[in-house]
Structures are given as C-alpha cells and as structure tokens.
Structure 1
Amino acid sequence: MATTNIWQQFKALLPEGSRIVAIIKANNGNGTSQAELRDGSVITVNGESVATGQKAFIQDGEIKGTAPSLAQYEVDV
C-alpha cells in the first residue's frame, strides 16, 4: 500500500548513503581499488570500473561510476 505521508514520499526520492568524489590511484586486481579523497587520505573501495587517474563517484564504499573533471571553486560568504 502506498503511503500518503508526503515526508515519506519525499525521502523515498533521495538516495541512501553519502556519495563522494575521489581520484582512483590504483586498481588492485582483486575487485578493489585505492581511492584518494580530497583531504589526501587513501581508502580501499570495491570495484575496478574506473581507470587509474580518473575521478569516480563512490557510494557506500563502492565505485558507482566515472565522475566528470570539473573546475572546483571555493567561496567565502
């Protein structure tokens, strides 16, 4: 049965978990990759679908796809 609670309907539209962008540093050959985060720390994630040196979307410790290389700006308000 579909819910009539508008808040629950809205929450269902949002993806679960956090999504980050990282640079793939190495594909390990065992189904995992090394990814470097913006703060410089390196984590191991599941998946090898993104080539070394490319940016990737990572969600819940798994590579979800290639991220575009866009300019990044920081603005103080």
Structure 2
Amino acid sequence: MSNLYREFMALMPARPLEVGDVTAINGSVATITLPGGGVIHARGAATVGQRVFVRDGAIEGQAPALTYVQGEA
C-alpha cells in the first residue's frame, strides 16, 4: 500500500533559496529586501546591511555581496 501523505508532499514544490539585503531588524525578525524589490520577513541572526540567504522564513546564513544582474532569454 502506498503512503498517500508522501505522494501528496511530492506534489508540493521545494522551498526556494532566496537572497536579499537586511534593511531592518526588530528583535529576532529581520526585514529583507529582495533584488526584484520584494520585501520579506525572516527570523535569525543578521545585521542591517548584510546580504543573507533565506529559505522558508529563516535566515540560513550570510551570502556573498555580488552585483545582481538580470538576464532575459
């Protein structure tokens, strides 16, 4: 017999890893501005001005400060 829960979860997309700049901190929650202009909130340790990796509302670590370039196909 198959596990219906596992089959259902396999249909869900994986949580994306995003990168952005910390613009504000309120307690343990950081406000992060994404390169496209979006703003998200994530929990974790960071400082204002730092570039971080974020996945599923949690800061995973510091990201390299590289220049963002967008290309079109």
Q: Answer yes or no: same fold by TM over 0.5.
A: yes
Partner in structure 1 of residue 59 of structure 2:
63
The 5 Å alignment of 1:35-50 reads: 35-47=32-44, 49-50=45-46
* Match for residue 28 of structure 1 among 26, 29, 49: 26
Q: SS of 1:73's equivalent?
A: coil
How many pairs were matched up? Answer: 60
User: Where does residue 19 of structure 1 map in the other structure?
Assistant: 17
**In 1, Cα distance between equivalents of 2:70 and 2:20:** 17
Gaps of 5+ in 2: 1-13
**RMSD over aligned Cα, in angstroms?**
1.6
TM-score (norm 1): 0.66
Structure 2 Cα separation of the partners of residues 74 and 32 of structure 1: 28
Once the two structures are aligned, what percentage of the paired residues are identical? 32
Question: Residues of 2 paired with 1:73 and 1:23: CA distance?
Answer: 15
Distance 2:59 2:70 in 1: 26
* Aligned counterpart, 1:72: 68
Query: What TM-score results when the alignment is normalised by the length of structure 2?
Result: 0.69
Contact 2:19–2:54, Cα closer than 8 Å, also in 1 = yes
